Amino acid sequence: MENNAAPERLGRYEIIRELGKGAMGVVYEGRDPSLGRRVAIKTARRDIIERSGLAKEMMERFLREARAAGMLNHPNIITIYDVGEEEGVAYIAMEFLEGKDLNTIITEQRKFDVETVANYGALICEALACAHDQGVFHRDVKPANIFIPSQGVLKVVDFGIARTHDSTLTQDGALIGTPTYMSPEQFMGQKVDARSDLFSVGIILYEMLTGEKPFTGEALTTIMHHILKSNPAPPHELNYLVPEALSAAVMRALSKRPQERYSNGRAMAAALR
């Protein structure tokens, strides 16, 4: 198979078209002929990974996404159907979604009505609670990993850096995540749990309610300083339409100390309802 050419098949899946490219490979629209089902197929090319010098770790990270998400069964988590490798290409076949990710919608819309924010937040928290119950922490909760289908329900996607309790691939001290949506403990390279993901949810909800990220900066060190030390103004002070109760729920999620946040996703979802 030519490195730059789209394969006609991967495993039992027919390749229809390219949807996008990532650092490790390409995402395709595909079809499972045995079920007549459209699928999205995320690939990782071994030759690209080997050139990075991190072949073993990156391939294991790619396959870990399939294992982590594949063990989860929730209407608001993308469904993984299959994983395999063929001719140097590892692939994950998953539910095909049409619509937009939340990052795109935020860019277009900036602010959202209070009911939408509360509903999206509760759905995200309930999906994460399902993952947390299985010992899986997402570690990169951000708008780009929240998908809003044109038909159907919100989905949390891309568990590519998720860590399970028994994972040994991600060592303490490694900076993993997207800086403006990371928790203080992630920046400090400390152990993370469910409350770290909920901090990230708080950042998303703050941005949706106010049109502003709570922690920003030109440099990584500036963002880190704000996340570790700064306290943003409560959302209701920036948007008078935000009820104080919802504002308080978001600010609790943004507490610097994990023990001051909601203990689990279901508790936060209940506060947002």
Name every residue whose Cβ is closer than 8 Å to that of residue 131 and which is 6 or more positions away in sequence: 68, 72, 74, 77, 137, 138, 156, 159, 162
Give the β-pairing of 136-137 and 89-95. Answer: unpaired
Asked whether the beta carbons of 221 and 126 are under 8 A apart, the reply is no
Helices 194-210 and 244-253: crossing angle in degrees, nearest 10, is: 140
Q: At residue 29, what is the residue type?
A: E
The pairing of strands 26-32 and 37-45 is antiparallel
Question: Residue 195 and residue 263: Cα distance in Å, rounded?
Answer: 6
Active site residues: 140
Distance between CA atoms of 206 and 58, rounded to whole angstroms?
33
Task: Quickly list H helices, the chain.
Answer: 46-51, 55-70, 102-109, 114-133, 184-187, 194-210, 220-229, 235-238, 244-253, 265-272
Distance separating alpha carbons of residues 251 and 208, to the nearest angstrom: 14
**Residues facing 164 on adjacent strands:** 136
Count of residues for the chain? 273
Spatial CB neighbours of 58, under 8 Å, sequence gap ≥ 6:
24, 44, 49, 52
